[in-house]
Structure 1
Amino acid sequence: MCGVAGVLAGPRAEPAGLDELKRMIAMIGHRGPDGYGFYRDGRIGLAHARLSIVGLAGGFQPIHNEERTLWITFNGEIFNHVELRRDLEARGHRFYTRTDTEVIVHAFEEYGPAAWAKLNGQFAIGLWDAVKRELWLVRDRLGILPLFYARSGDHLAFASEAKALFGGGRVEPRFDAARLAQVFTHWSVAPQGSVFAGVQSVPPATAIRIDADLRLHEARYWEPDMAGDPALSRITLDEAADRLEEKLLDAIRLRLRADVPVGVYISGGLDSSVIAALARKLDTTQMHSFGVRFADNAFDETPQQRLVAGHVGTEHHDILCTAEDIQAALPDVIWHGESPLVRTAPAPLFLLSRLVRDSGIRVVLSGEGADEWLAGYDIFKEDKVRRFWARQPHSTARPKLLSRIHPYAATSGQKDSPLWQAFWKRGMTETDDPFYAHRIRWQNTAWTQRLLAPDVRSAANAQAFDEAVAVHLPAGWSRWSPLARTQWTEIAAFMSPYLLTSQGDRVAMANSIEVRYPFLDPEVDDLCAALPDRVKMLGLRDKLALRRVASRLLPAEIFHRPKRPYRAPMTTALFGAQAPAYVQDLLSEESLNRYGLVDAAGVAALAAKAHRTDGRMAGEREEMALVGVLTLQMLARNVLDELPGRASTLRARLDATPIHILEEHLDSAAA
């Protein structure tokens, strides 16, 4: 993985100077600590921060084709680069590096925009066609890696992170009130946005061509078909497991390609355990695994992690995460994540990636994607029960099925509670709503908006988020099963903009660690999309095909284990007697009024309650609200107050690092 940045000048504008490019890329030097590269001509300036993983020698970017007419700054990995290179060499292309980056340049030269769909990888691309004077911004199928852009007068700037846009000086850091409100409903902004005014995100599976006049031409190069393959309609569970295991082995084999050691995350759950077991089948050399150990037993899965590590034979490392550790990590998480959070879950993952770095590993495999593609989340079961209940809305027996999903409801007596049933009954008969399954979650989280300032709250527009997701719904989506539709909504509205960002790329790259996801391999996902629902979820039993694979590889305690959502302590780690000083500071009346983003009186009242109870709140909504406003205050201080000082420090770090100016053609025509 790496960091990318660049500025495209309009036909009558001055090109970006080298100093501006240095300021931009310095802001994201954590993404590539091994050196910096630059390319400039009369229209474009490209910058790159390198994290060396493939092609360690001679792989500095930007990289070009034989004629030096195509230049690329690239973040990510192309896992099928060996196969693509072989094909391109047979077609006459000549390479000057061993990198996967150069393969992209030649693939584009050979196939044009059709090249994007041929890439099996996780990537963010800035590619300059010096002949056509066109810039391409391209992002991988599922949005694993970030890529932002902003128009500023007669220039368009792009970068891996928004802070690089601000560091260049052309883009002013300002919050977008409507998008902030989205975070306090959907946990993140819509896939094509950011919390900053004027800063857009390239959507997943999208290529944007910016022409010589800075006009944008956006096209999707891939979309899923989850209607199910009729040829697989009679497949047995064992046959489905055979195919899934085969595709996962292929995906892991590709993701073990690197010129540095590859480790694996083990959470103690099913998904990461399967990845670890299959990786050990392919790689019999010493493999390191990593996990988080929580001081609070309510969140800890250490026994399961160690059981799996011992069973598959990895050298396991874990890091103890206490309340104090979450307190210390959270400011770094917000600086790198560039968004408020309504949960603290990314903080332990930041600490975990630091452990990986300190262990001398640069690449790890992870199990994200299995729950989405193979129906592992409770939301899929809730959707099924509510649709079943909706056919007999007055039934008293059907709603009790929800207690099988949430056992605490049965043990606490809630399953017979009118309030419990009323909660799940909201909108229950509106089964034609495209976001039927997710509406309850979103409405529940929207309660947190009451702590936002009135003007921010009034900017909230739930319909805008719906439309932003709906505009990218695949063709034929309406013909899919309810389960498939809910799965894709989870992928498009949660996994891509939140899970792979706040809990994925940002906290890993903060410590210069690359995370690779075998469950997000195109062939794995295409198989999952083609399989019938009954080998994913039958009744309320989830991930059946994957559990069958796991039964061949892992102890019964693991493959029979119910899904346990990954969570971390929230207000109990941040409020009360052990509260860090920054909580009092950021939630003081002066700080709250300074930024004007939250309702100072409402925040003060809820924070006082949290301090009195040592963070033990009446419900999760109150916890999410407090974490949300605290991290929003952190972010505001980061970008509105501290940015110049941080930029100066980071620029000094760049000046002490190897710099490669690949080429400059400042005399080239600006037309």
Structure 2
Amino acid sequence: MCGIAGYCGAVSVSQDGTSLLRQMIRAIAHRGPDENGTYVADGAGLGHMRLSIVGLTDGQQPMESASGNLVISYNGEVFNYVELRDDLIAQGHRFRTGSDTEVILHLYEEMGPDCVKKLNGDFAFALWDKKRRRMMLARDRMGVRPLFYTWHEGTFFFASEIKALLRVPGMTAEIDPYALDQIFTLWTPIAPRTMFKGISELRPAHLMIVEDQRVKTTPYWNLDYPDRDSVSAGRSESDVSEELRHLLTDATRIRLRADVPVGSYLSGGLDSSVVSAIAARIVPDQLRTFSIGFDTVEHDETAFQMQMVEALGTRHSSLSCSKSDIATIFPAVVEHTERPILRTAPAPLYLLSHLAHSEGYKVVLTGEGADEVFAGYDIFREAKVRRFCARQPQSRIRPHLFRKLYPYLPGLKQQTPEYLAAFFGAGVDGLDDPLHSHRPRFRGTAATKMFFSPELRDALKGYDATEDLASGLPKDYARWHPLHQAQYLETSLLLPGYILCCQSDRMAMAHGLEGRFPFLDHRLVEFASRVPVGMKLKGLGEKHILKQATRDLVPASITARQKQPYRAPDSQSFTADGLPDYVREHMGSDAIADTGLFNAPAVAKLLEKCTRNAPTGYRDDSAFVGILSTQLWHQKFTNQTNRQTVAAA
């Protein structure tokens, strides 16, 4: 894992390429605290901050090919580099290092840009082809590693994080109001849009070729599902379970490849428990595990974490996160996410990453991706019940199923069937709506936009983020099963845009820590897309086939427990022990009015409500965290009032 930066084209005569690159990579030094390097040629430059994990003594970057015709700056890991290296040696290639970086250079010599199709890994890299005067950018299939780009004064710039681009002389940070609207509706901007006007994100599974001042962007892989009416091959559940177990074991095995120790996160849920259990069987020494708990009962999973520690016999470290801890580190969290967020959930993971780093670890395995790939989220089950209720809208029996979905929400137990149906929007959305599964979430989140200022509303001119999302869906989307449609929305939008970005890569790399995700091995993702829907969501039982395939790895209490989504205290984190000074400052009427994005009187009422610890729901919590993080983002990254910026949008 590392941080990369670079340019393609001429740089200003007042700024030589080497010093420019050093400024850019210095802004992302947290991503690679071990080493740094630069490469400058006529018309191109590459910078690199290194977190050394593979090829400790000979993997320095930017790395040139033996011929000197190719240079690469690379962030991430190629987990199948051993097999690729052997194949290349058999074809006559000679290697000077033991790093996975050199494998990409040789593979490019053989295949050109198509080399990315051979890579199994989490990566974002830039490769300069001297002969062709071509800069190639690539990003991994699932969007684990970030990569951003922009044009400035005729030169193309790119970097792992936007803060590096803002070091380019003359670059200014301006808000993109449509990105803010998307965050306050969908939780994330729709790539390639970012919060910064004029700065874009390379989409997952995409290549970009910059040549002769022209840019061509193409996908090299697509997330796909079979037609809903396609006939199943008729494989038995035991056969599917066996293949799943084999793929997951191999995905974990190759993600343990490193020249440094690899640890594992334990959340107390099924996914991280399974990954840790597989890893514990593979590593020759006792596995090191890390977890975080909470001092709030509704969020804490410590008891389940300790069950897994006892079952696996791991060497374990944990910490407890309080509300005041979240409030204290929240400004740093926003600085690293580089975008507003509607939940405080990234903050405890920031602390957990610091714990692993402080214990001397650079790499951890995690369970992210299993819920998207094997249909584990409540939203999948809820969508199934909503469709079931919509088929008999007059039924007073069917809405009772909603209670089974959320046993941790006691307020639902005493509600009438009519209330339950109305609350969950059963029958509200047409069954042919491509966003049917996610409409309740999008409506609930979009309610936070009642706090938008009149100026921001005028700038948006009635813009609808959900229409933007629906217009970009794949051409075969309508032919997929409704569960697969819902999985696609989670996997292609929220996973890279929020889970991997804000909760995973940014929180880990803030402390020079690399997260690895066996469930996001593209072989496993492709396999899971073909698993019959009834094996993933069996009745209302989530991740059925995963549980069947791994039932011997974890205690029955872990497999059978009701899924508890990862959450953290939201507005309460900032009000429980008295309002921190920075919250009072950034959410005060003067600061709100100066920024120009939110309605100052409405925010004042929200602040007063939360401060007196009145009961808050989803809308108030999302609005509080969203407004605060937006104000912090604005203060950190812009130097002008947003009232002026919005008016010019």
TM-score by length of 1: 0.91
Cα distance, 1:408 vs. partner?
5.7
Structure 1 CA distance for aligned equivalents of residues 98 and 471 of structure 2? 39
CA contact (8 A) 1:181 1:456 kept: no
Q: Which residue of 2 aligns with 1:225?
A: 224
Structure 2 CA distance for aligned equivalents of residues 88 and 503 of structure 1? 36
Moved more, 587-596 or 105-114: 587-596
Structure 1 CA distance for aligned equivalents of residues 69 and 412 of structure 2? 68
Q: 2:634 aligns with which of 621, 633, 636?
A: 636
Mark the CA change 1:46 to 1:464 in structure 2 (over 3 Å): closer, same or farther. Answer: farther
Cα distance, 1:306 vs. partner?
0.8
Structure 2 CA distance for aligned equivalents of residues 411 and 630 of structure 1? 28
Q: Which residue of 2 aligns with 1:292?
A: 292
Structure 1 CA distance for aligned equivalents of residues 571 and 74 of structure 2? 39
Confirm whether residue 53 of structure 1 aligns to residue 58 of structure 2: no
Structure 2 CA distance for aligned equivalents of residues 587 and 538 of structure 1? 46
1:637-656 counterparts in 2 under 5 A? 637-640=635-638
Confirm whether residue 168 of structure 1 aligns to residue 168 of structure 2: yes
Q: Which residue of 1 aligns with 2:541?
A: 541
Structure 1 CA distance for aligned equivalents of residues 206 and 467 of structure 2? 17
Cα distance, 1:405 vs. partner?
1.0
1:325-336 counterparts in 2 under 5 A? 325-336=325-336
Q: CA RMSD in A?
A: 2.1
Q: Which residue of 1 aligns with 2:260?
A: 260
Cα distance, 1:617 vs. partner?
3.2
Instruction: Give the secondary structure class of the aligned counterpart of 2:166.
Output: helix
Residue type at the aligned position of 1:242: E
Mark the CA change 1:466 to 1:94 in structure 2 (over 3 Å): closer, same or farther. Answer: farther
Q: Which residue of 2 aligns with 1:662?
A: none
Instruction: Give the secondary structure class of the aligned counterpart of 1:168.
Output: coil
Cα distance, 1:224 vs. partner?
2.3
Cα distance, 1:477 vs. partner?
2.7
Instruction: Give the secondary structure class of the aligned counterpart of 2:528.
Output: helix
1:169-222 C-alpha deviation (Å, 9 max, x unpaired): 242111111111111111111122211101100001000111112x21111000
Structure 1 CA distance for aligned equivalents of residues 576 and 301 of structure 2? 26
Residue type at the aligned position of 2:606: L
Cα distance, 1:419 vs. partner?
4.1
Mark the CA change 1:472 to 1:522 in structure 2 (over 3 Å): closer, same or farther. Answer: farther
CA contact (8 A) 2:387 2:426 kept: no
Structure 2 CA distance for aligned equivalents of residues 134 and 471 of structure 1? 32
Structure 1 CA distance for aligned equivalents of residues 70 and 467 of structure 2? 36
1:546-561 counterparts in 2 under 5 A? 546-561=546-561
1:112-162 C-alpha deviation (Å, 9 max, x unpaired): 122111110000111111111111111100100110001112111100000
Structure 2 CA distance for aligned equivalents of residues 418 and 641 of structure 1? 51
Mark the CA change 1:474 to 1:68 in structure 2 (over 3 Å): closer, same or farther. Answer: farther
1:486-497 counterparts in 2 under 5 A? 486-497=486-497
Structure 2 CA distance for aligned equivalents of residues 13 and 459 of structure 1? 37
Q: Which residue of 2 aligns with 1:183?
A: 183
Structure 2 CA distance for aligned equivalents of residues 471 and 18 of structure 1? 42
Instruction: Give the secondary structure class of the aligned counterpart of 1:407.
Output: coil
Unaligned runs of 5+ in 2: 641-649
Q: Which residue of 2 aligns with 1:443?
A: 443
Q: Which residue of 2 aligns with 1:345?
A: 345
Mark the CA change 1:308 to 1:9 in structure 2 (over 3 Å): closer, same or farther. Answer: same
Q: Which residue of 2 aligns with 1:36?
A: 36
Cα distance, 1:577 vs. partner?
4.2
Q: Which residue of 2 aligns with 1:393?
A: 393
Q: Which residue of 1 aligns with 2:643?
A: none
Cα distance, 1:463 vs. partner?
6.5
Q: 2:624 aligns with which of 596, 605, 626?
A: 626
CA contact (8 A) 1:362 1:512 kept: yes
CA contact (8 A) 1:34 1:50 kept: yes
Residue type at the aligned position of 1:535: M
How many pairs does the alignment contain? 639
Moved more, 568-577 or 231-240: 231-240
Q: Which residue of 1 aligns with 2:505?
A: 505
Cα distance, 1:281 vs. partner?
1.2
1:353-432 counterparts in 2 under 5 A? 353-407=353-407, 412-416=412-416, 418-425=418-425, 428-432=428-432
Cα distance, 1:640 vs. partner?
2.2
CA contact (8 A) 1:247 1:524 kept: yes
Residue type at the aligned position of 1:620: Y
CA contact (8 A) 1:363 1:516 kept: yes
Structure 1 CA distance for aligned equivalents of residues 312 and 373 of structure 2? 24
Structure 2 CA distance for aligned equivalents of residues 222 and 468 of structure 1? 22
Residue type at the aligned position of 1:178: Y
Structure 1 CA distance for aligned equivalents of residues 416 and 202 of structure 2? 47
Mark the CA change 1:567 to 1:410 in structure 2 (over 3 Å): closer, same or farther. Answer: closer
Mark the CA change 1:464 to 1:129 in structure 2 (over 3 Å): closer, same or farther. Answer: farther
Structure 2 CA distance for aligned equivalents of residues 145 and 121 of structure 1? 10
Q: Which residue of 1 aligns with 2:139?
A: 139
CA contact (8 A) 2:370 2:376 kept: yes
Structure 2 CA distance for aligned equivalents of residues 86 and 352 of structure 1? 37
1:216-260 C-alpha deviation (Å, 9 max, x unpaired): 111100012321797963223222221111111100110000000
Q: 2:615 aligns with which of 614, 617, 622?
A: 617
Which structure has the higher relative contact order (CA within 8 Å, separation 6+)? 1
CA contact (8 A) 2:399 2:420 kept: no
1:24-73 C-alpha deviation (Å, 9 max, x unpaired): 11100000011211111110111000000000002111112221111111
CA contact (8 A) 1:576 1:612 kept: no
CA contact (8 A) 2:448 2:619 kept: yes
Moved more, 618-627 or 352-361: 618-627
Q: Which residue of 2 aligns with 1:656?
A: none
Mark the CA change 1:475 to 1:106 in structure 2 (over 3 Å): closer, same or farther. Answer: farther
Residue type at the aligned position of 2:504: G
Cα distance, 1:399 vs. partner?
2.1
Cα distance, 1:595 vs. partner?
2.0
Mark the CA change 1:232 to 1:553 in structure 2 (over 3 Å): closer, same or farther. Answer: farther
Structure 2 CA distance for aligned equivalents of residues 619 and 562 of structure 1? 22
Mark the CA change 1:448 to 1:539 in structure 2 (over 3 Å): closer, same or farther. Answer: same
Instruction: Give the secondary structure class of the aligned counterpart of 1:439.
Output: helix
Structure 2 CA distance for aligned equivalents of residues 139 and 80 of structure 1? 16
Moved more, 4-13 or 633-642: 4-13
Q: Which residue of 1 aligns with 2:644?
A: none
Q: Which residue of 2 aligns with 1:316?
A: 316
Instruction: Give the secondary structure class of the aligned counterpart of 1:39.
Output: strand
CA contact (8 A) 2:403 2:412 kept: no
Q: Which residue of 2 aligns with 1:67?
A: 67
Structure 2 CA distance for aligned equivalents of residues 72 and 472 of structure 1? 32
Cα distance, 1:628 vs. partner?
0.6
Confirm whether residue 78 of structure 1 aligns to residue 78 of structure 2: yes
Structure 1 CA distance for aligned equivalents of residues 468 and 49 of structure 2? 32
1:266-307 C-alpha deviation (Å, 9 max, x unpaired): 000000000011111111312110000111111100010011
1:439-470 C-alpha deviation (Å, 9 max, x unpaired): 11011100111222223234448976446545
